[in-house]
């Protein structure tokens, strides 16, 4: 079976048994509306030999135009430098500048940033603190490859949750070490221990947004075995072909016997996929 089209971040779902299910979708090159041309249920492909061949073309995930280089996971330069969703304040929510009247797209800002956001602790490589829009629960945790996530607070806007995260991040990581995450190396520090400390770093008014008891989510990722180390990370700028059995999926990574591929970072790349 051979399919082709432009890559997008894999779609994920979270079953009642905590199992994570992945679907890879390919979009029509040049399509502005993310018109899906092929769908691949990925969990069923474990142990199968997969061939991924990039065409060398990249199509912006927003405007659909061809671009020589991909910025911030699949945008052309024009979109990357003008859209609100690729502004630095999305990465660093405490730097939200909406109230200064300088939001790149105030309508987008009103719709996406002024709604309920969750503050959470997650166990991916180590324990980390993070934030996400309420509608992105549990997708965000899965995209990071977390084995557990504890929602500890709900805030009315992205800036407010971002300020709480920023206060905690002085003493707790807000990053995932992806190599450790992919070999399933994790710490077993109980959430409770960190939660008390995190709480103490917040102001009384920030503490008012914390939940009396957190909401715990667990995630089990499809895999045959975890790699013992990550010796090779593919990307289509340097790898003209990937041809290897799939042994696992975690976060937005496909884990092949021959190395790993971050699908999210390859969004917009046109590829041909053959399952043997
Ligand atoms: Zn574009």
Give me the pLDDT at residue 16, please. 84
pLDDT tens per residue, range 49-64: 999 999 999 999 999 9
Q: Burial level of 255, CB count in 10 A (0-12/13-18/19+)?
A: buried
User: What's the 82 CA to ligand 1 centre distance in angstroms?
Assistant: 9
Q: Are residues 163 and 233 in the same domain?
A: no
User: What's the 81 CA to ligand 1 centre distance in angstroms?
Assistant: 10
pLDDT of residue 33 exceeding 90, the answer is: no
Are 20 and 219 spatial neighbours (Cβ–Cβ below 8 Å)? yes
Q: Are residues 192 and 137 in the same domain?
A: yes
Residues in the chain: 276
Q: Are residues 103 and 214 in the same domain?
A: yes
What are residue 216's DSSP bridge partners? 150
Number of structural domains found in the chain = 2
User: What's the 65 CA to ligand 1 centre distance in angstroms?
Assistant: 6
Q: Are residues 246 and 188 in the same domain?
A: no
pLDDT tens per residue, range 180-204: 999 999 888 899 888 999 999 999 9
Calpha distance 33→62 (Å, rounded): 8
Domain extent for 34: 2-67+223-275
Give me the pLDDT at residue 108, please. 96
Between 33-37, 230-234, 260-264, the lowest mean confidence (pLDDT) is in 33-37
Residue 269 pLDDT grade (very low, low, confident, very high; cuts 50, 70, 90): very high
User: What's the 31 CA to ligand 1 centre distance in angstroms?
Assistant: 11
Q: Who surrounds ion ligand 1 at CB < 5 A?
A: 60, 62-63, 76, 79
Q: Are residues 24 and 97 in the same domain?
A: no
Provide the 10 A C-beta neighbour count for residue 171.
Answer: 12
User: What's the 235 CA to ligand 1 centre distance in angstroms?
Assistant: 21
User: What's the 73 CA to ligand 1 centre distance in angstroms?
Assistant: 12
Q: Are residues 172 and 241 in the same domain?
A: no
Residue 58 lies in a domain: yes
The two structure tokens encoding residue 202: 């917040």
Calpha distance 112→157 (Å, rounded): 9
Secondary structure (3-state) at 86: helix
Residue 73 lies in a domain: no
Q: Are residues 195 and 255 in the same domain?
A: no
User: What's the 10 CA to ligand 1 centre distance in angstroms?
Assistant: 20
Secondary structure (3-state) at 71: strand
Closest alpha carbon to 115 in 161, 83, 82: 161
Q: Are residues 112 and 176 in the same domain?
A: yes
Residue 77 lies in a domain: no
Q: Are residues 152 and 209 in the same domain?
A: yes
User: What's the 192 CA to ligand 1 centre distance in angstroms?
Assistant: 44
Q: Are residues 93 and 162 in the same domain?
A: yes
Which residues have a Cβ under 8 Å from the Cβ of 191 and sit 6 or more positions away? 121, 123, 127, 148, 150, 214, 216
Q: Which of 218, 233, 250 is the last residue of a domain?
A: 218
Task: Give the chain's mean pLDDT.
Answer: 95
What are residue 118's DSSP bridge partners? 132, 154
The reported pTM is 0.96
Q: Are residues 227 and 195 in the same domain?
A: no
Give me the pLDDT at residue 4, please. 96
Q: Are residues 210 and 253 in the same domain?
A: no
Q: Which of 218, 238, 262 is the last residue of a domain?
A: 218
User: What's the 62 CA to ligand 1 centre distance in angstroms?
Assistant: 5
Q: Which of 200, 218, 236 is the last residue of a domain?
A: 218
């Amino acid at each position: 079976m051979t399919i082709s089209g432009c890559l997008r971040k894999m779609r994920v779902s979270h079953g009642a048994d905590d199992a994570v299910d992945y679907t890879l979708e390919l979009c029509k090159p040049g399509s502005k509306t993310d018109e899906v041309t092929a769908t691949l249920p990925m969990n069923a492909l474990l142990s199968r030999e997969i061939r991924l061949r990039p065409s060398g073309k990249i199509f912006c995930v927003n405007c659909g135009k061809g671009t020589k280089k991909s910025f911030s996971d699949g945008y052309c330069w024009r979109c990357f430098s003008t859209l609100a969703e690729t502004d630095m304040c999305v990465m660093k929510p405490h730097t939200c500048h909406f109230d200064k009247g300088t939001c790149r797209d105030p309508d987008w800002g009103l719709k996406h940033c002024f709604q309920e956001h969750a503050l959470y602790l997650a166990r991916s490589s180590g324990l980390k603190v993070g934030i996400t829009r309420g509608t992105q629960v549990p997708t965000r945790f899965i995209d990071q490859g977390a084995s557990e996530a504890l929602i500890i607070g709900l805030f009315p806007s992205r800036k407010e949750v971002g300020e709480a995260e920023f206060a905690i991040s002085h003493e707790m990581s807000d990053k995932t070490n992806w190599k450790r995450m992919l070999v399933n190396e994790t710490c077993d520090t109980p959430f409770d221990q960190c939660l008390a400390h995190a709480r103490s770093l917040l102001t009384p008014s920030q503490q008012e947004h914390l939940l009396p008891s957190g909401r715990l989510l667990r995630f089990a990722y499809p895999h045959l075995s975890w790699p013992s180390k990550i010796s090779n990370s593919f990307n289509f700028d340097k790898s003209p072909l990937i041809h290897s059995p799939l042994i696992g999926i975690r976060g937005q990574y496909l884990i092949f016997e021959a190395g790993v591929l971050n699908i999210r970072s390859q969004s917009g790349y046109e590829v041909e996929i053959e399952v043997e």
